[in-house]
Amino acid sequence: MLPDFLEIIKPLAGDSITTMAAIILILPLVTFVVLIFVGNNLPRKGDWFATGIMGLCALLSFIVFFNVWGNQEEHHVRFDWVNLGSGIGSLLPLKFTLGLMVDSMSAIMLVVVTFICFLVHLFSIDYMHGEEHYNRYFAYLGIFTFSMLGIVLADNLLLTYIFWELVGLSSYLLIGFWFKKEAPIRANKKAFLINRIGDIGMFIGMLILFLQFSTLDLSALKILMTESTFEQGKWIITLSSGVKGQVPVTHSLDAFWLTVAGICLFCGCVGKSAQFPLQVWLPDAMEGPTPVSSLIHAATMVAAGVYMVGRIFALLSVDALTVIAFIGMITAFMAAYSAMTQTDLKRVLAFSTISQLGYMVMGLGVGAYDAALFHLVTHAFFKCLLFLTAASVIHAMHHVEHELHHHGKHVHFDPQDMRIMGGLRKKMPVTFWTYFVGTMALAGIPFFSGFLSKDAIIVGGWGWADEMSGNGSNIYYLVPVVGFLTAAMTAFYMGRQMFMTFFGDFRLEKLSEDAKGAFEHVHDATFWMKPALVCLALFTIAPVFVPSLNPVNLTNGHSSWFMHTISIPKAVTPDNNSYISKETLSGISKEHPTSHAPAVTPRQLSIIENAHHRHHAGLVLSLIIGIGSILLAYVFYGSYTKLGPLSKEKIQLVHARITSEESIPYKISYNKWYMDEIYHVVFVQPTVYFSEFTSWFDAKVIDGVVNLVARLNVILGNLSGWFDRWVVDGAVNLSAYLSGRLGSVTRRFQNGDIQSYFIYMLAGVLLVFVFKVIW
């Protein structure tokens, strides 16, 4: 039975859930429009208006969530966006459909996005208070939320791409919010352009899928992928329009295009989720306001890449997934390595974001779909929390600077530099304790949410390596090994940050005489900041995700309500069956039936089973690594705090104790693997030079030829003018002259003398006579 193409992409009416989703989607856009146009005239420039609408969105999202969560059905509304009639030589319609789809995954994302967004709005009211363009800030947040929700709800890759670019725009606007400063406006351009590189890849992936399937609708793609066959290296799909008597259309491509399509689509994720090799934009993006970093560049937008790959997970071939796993691994490691030496409060968190996104991508690559998306959710909460606490610290440091100035003491310092902080926990208890919770989650300490999901990913990677190494290669074990290594580095740099910022003495006071007494000006998070911090901290502890008090369950992500409902989708690419290892062939163990079992391929099941076997070992290893690394950080940086009067030299001395700043490993870490520099030399400069060359070529060569032709024409014109004047006209003048001369000769004969006329006549007659005789 051929799939009926018209049936697959027909318009769908939707239901109350999709209507509510549409309302949630549109409301932030309303905020944007209102605040941009009349924001300045609203009370308080519309901040409460925006926050209120966001609260409403969050409320509606919770309603949607409780209605949808755990149900298998999809709520789907779809309509024709563009209909170009039928294609050449076939009766298949050339249609681009758009619509919204709500299932469990998008429902939880709705909640995560709107709820975090609401909290960030709340936090921003105090944090951004008094900024120029205050209304614009909230307007931009509105358009960001709109586009992000669009990605979440899109039922179609084209629609995803549309919102994908729009979040790029809102990210651009928000990073460059302080557009008078040089750094933000460089950073936002960089972010947009690097994201576009990824987007181009994603776009090409979409082109391939559209070429083969004539639609980009996600649910249609899944059906069509299932119906595809692979024969002799060809990827074949036969589509029928459902009209009786009509010949079905067969599309065929080389099989490797499927892997190409998967990797190309993944490129979108590489850009947006800051994966290697496009991760360089994210640290720079920290130039934006910190709540923005927290919302967009930590919790939601950067996770959109992971979400998108999750959406197309079923279409990814085994080769594509392997690439994804390794990219994720490389990213996680590189970023964690960089994070260990950063001195900027936000940069450490930025690198940790990249690193955690690397984990998620790695999770998807190894097939631990559920764990990866779980990590996406837990990470959204604890990373947002960490950034907001950082914002709180920066806010306090700004306040200190301001107060010192107020007292006539001009101390200049970078309010984000951890080297001048320390001991802040005493003055900022709420900030510290919420930060502590977030750090524990990120460092992967049991009983915090991050442990549950990260552990599940690494163990999943282990199981995957067991399966993949069935072909005799051990290279796949690199993934779990690096996963554990990165976990160790993560706990280390977070411990380092915690000790440097919150423990020991406030080192700013030791920086100069003027800064004495600065500690007194440090204040905790303000009134409207606290609810966000506390709320997010609550969502970071394990029991919120695991409804149990049993410590065994509390350390196992698979016992969470999340992973009970979100299950691994069955891979529908045909090569999933060609990689079955010995273990799988010898029969799948029946001892640990999991909830996933019925819906996945044998290969996937085998990975799940392997991971299950590794669970206990993984748990113990994670535990040791997490706690051990924090202790290690204490050994190195705990003492950092106990120093006496501290000068810059002394700070450097401390660093020298750990690792010399001159040493190559340190430099590589601090300078982010020199990727910016390399890219500048390899890509940016040649592009600029080449553009200058083309411009020169255009002006001198192409236009030169045009002008040369013009000049040749002028010369030709002059030549023909000369010819005309001297040759043509010369001949005319010559003949005139000659006839003139002739005239003046013959004129002499006409002298009016009759006698001479007779002589002429006689001479003439004589001449004729002579002539006749001689002839």
Partner 1 sequence: MGILSFIIFTPLAGALLVLILSSAQSKYFKIIALVATILQMIFGIMLFSDFKYGTQLLKTPDGTETVAYGINNPDTFQFVEKGDWISINLGNYGILDIDYYLAVDGLSITMILLSALVFFVSVIASWKIEKNLKGYFALFLLLDMAVVGVFCALDFFLFFMFWEIMLLPMYFLIGIWGGPRREYASIKFFLYTLVGSVFMLLVMVGLYFSVIDPALTAIQAGLVQPGADINAMKAAVLEVQKLLAEGKLSPAVQVHSFNMLHMMNTSNLVPGSIFAVGGEIFGYSARLIAFMALFLGFAIKVPMVPFHTWLPDAHVEAPTPISVILAGVLLKLGGYGMMRICYGIFPEGGVYFCYFIGLMGLISMVYGAFVCLAQTDLKKLIAYSSVSHMGYVLLGMASLETVGMNAAMFQMFNHGTISAMLFLLVGVIYDRTHDRQIPNYRGLATHMPQYTAMVMIAFFASLGLPGFSGFVSEAFTFVGAFNSTYIPKWMAMVGTITILLTAAYYLWTLQRMFFGEVWFKGGDHWRHELSEINRRELTALIPLAAVTVFLGIFPSACLDLMSTSIGYMTQATIENGHKLLEQVSQMAVK
Angstrom CA distances, 14 to 74, 102, 111, 147, stand at 10, 10, 20, 21
690 binds partner 1 (CB under 8 A): yes
Residue from 4, 131, 165, 505 in contact with partner 1 (CB under 8 A): 165
84 binds partner 1 (CB under 8 A): yes
Residues 142-161 that bind partner 1 (CB under 8 A): 158, 161
Q: Under a CB-based contact definition with an 8 Å cutoff, are residues 132 and 18 in contact?
A: no
| Rounded to 5°, angle at Cα 517 from 516 and 520 | 155
Q: Closest approach of Cβ 405 to partner 1, in Å?
A: 21
695 binds partner 1 (CB under 8 A): yes
DSSP 395-413: HHHHHHHHHHHHTT-----
Residues 6+ apart with CB under 8 A from 152: 106, 109, 110, 113, 307
169 binds partner 1 (CB under 8 A): yes
| Tally: H helices and E strands in the chain | 32, 6
634 binds partner 1 (CB under 8 A): no
Residues 86-105 that bind partner 1 (CB under 8 A): 86-88, 94
* Closest CB to partner 1 among residues 65, 146: 146
Q: Closest approach of Cβ 610 to partner 1, in Å?
A: 38
Q: How far apart are CA 116 and CA 381, in angstroms?
A: 7
Task: Give all strands of the β-sheet with 12-13 in edge-to-edge order.
Answer: 12-13, 75-86, 93-102
* Closest CB to partner 1 among residues 80, 514: 80
Q: Closest approach of Cβ 42 to partner 1, in Å?
A: 18
182 binds partner 1 (CB under 8 A): yes
Angstrom CA distances, 246 to 249, 507, 597, stand at 9, 80, 40
Residues 185-204 that bind partner 1 (CB under 8 A): 185-186, 189, 192-193, 196-197, 199-200, 203-204
Residue from 85, 130, 743, 752 in contact with partner 1 (CB under 8 A): 85
Strand-pair category, 93-102 with 229-231: unpaired
Q: Closest approach of Cβ 308 to partner 1, in Å?
A: 15
Q: Is 572 helix (H, G, I), strand (E, B) or coil?
A: coil
* Closest CB to partner 1 among residues 81, 757: 81
Tokens 């969050």 found at: 58
For the chain, the 3-state helix, strand and coil shares in percent, each to the nearest 5, are: 75, 5, 20
Residue from 694, 718, 735, 756 in contact with partner 1 (CB under 8 A): 694
Q: Is 30 exposed, middle or buried (0-12, 13-18, 19+ CB in 10 A)?
A: middle
* Closest CB to partner 1 among residues 182, 649: 182
Q: How far apart are CA 71 and CA 351, in angstroms?
A: 37
* Closest CB to partner 1 among residues 89, 644: 89
Q: Closest approach of Cβ 186 to partner 1, in Å?
A: 7
Q: Closest approach of Cβ 200 to partner 1, in Å?
A: 5
Q: Which stretch binds partner 1 (CB under 8 A): 180-188, 380-388, 722-730, 741-749?
A: 180-188
Q: Which stretch binds partner 1 (CB under 8 A): 117-125, 178-186, 402-410, 765-773?
A: 178-186
**Two tokens, residue 744:** 């003046």
Q: Closest approach of Cβ 697 to partner 1, in Å?
A: 8
* Closest CB to partner 1 among residues 520, 698: 698
22 binds partner 1 (CB under 8 A): no
Residue from 41, 130, 180, 771 in contact with partner 1 (CB under 8 A): 180
Residue 680 DSSP class: I
Radius of gyration of the chain (CA): 38
Residue 89 — φ and ψ, nearest 5°?
A: 70, 10
Q: Closest approach of Cβ 211 to partner 1, in Å?
A: 5
**Residue 749, CB-side half-sphere exposure with 13 Å CA sphere:** 11
Residues 6+ apart with CB under 8 A from 141: 28, 31, 50, 117, 120, 121, 124, 174, 292, 295
DSSP 325-390: HHHHHHHHHHHHHHHTT--BHHHHHHHHHHHHHHHHHHHHHTT-HHHHHHHHHHHHHHHHHHHHHH
715 binds partner 1 (CB under 8 A): no
Q: Which stretch binds partner 1 (CB under 8 A): 52-60, 395-403, 551-559, 698-706?
A: 698-706
211 binds partner 1 (CB under 8 A): yes
Q: Closest approach of Cβ 204 to partner 1, in Å?
A: 6
Residue from 48, 62, 69, 210 in contact with partner 1 (CB under 8 A): 210
703 binds partner 1 (CB under 8 A): yes
Q: Which stretch binds partner 1 (CB under 8 A): 39-47, 172-180, 402-410, 470-478?
A: 172-180
Q: Which amino acid is at 625?
A: I
Residues 6+ apart with CB under 8 A from 750: none
The footprint of partner 1 on this chain (CB under 8 A) covers a number of residues equal to 49
Chain positions contacting partner 1, by CB under 8 A: 81-88, 94, 158, 161-163, 165-166, 169, 172, 176, 179-182, 185-186, 189, 192-193, 196-197, 199-200, 203-204, 207-208, 210-211, 687-688, 690-692, 694-695, 698, 702-703, 706, 710
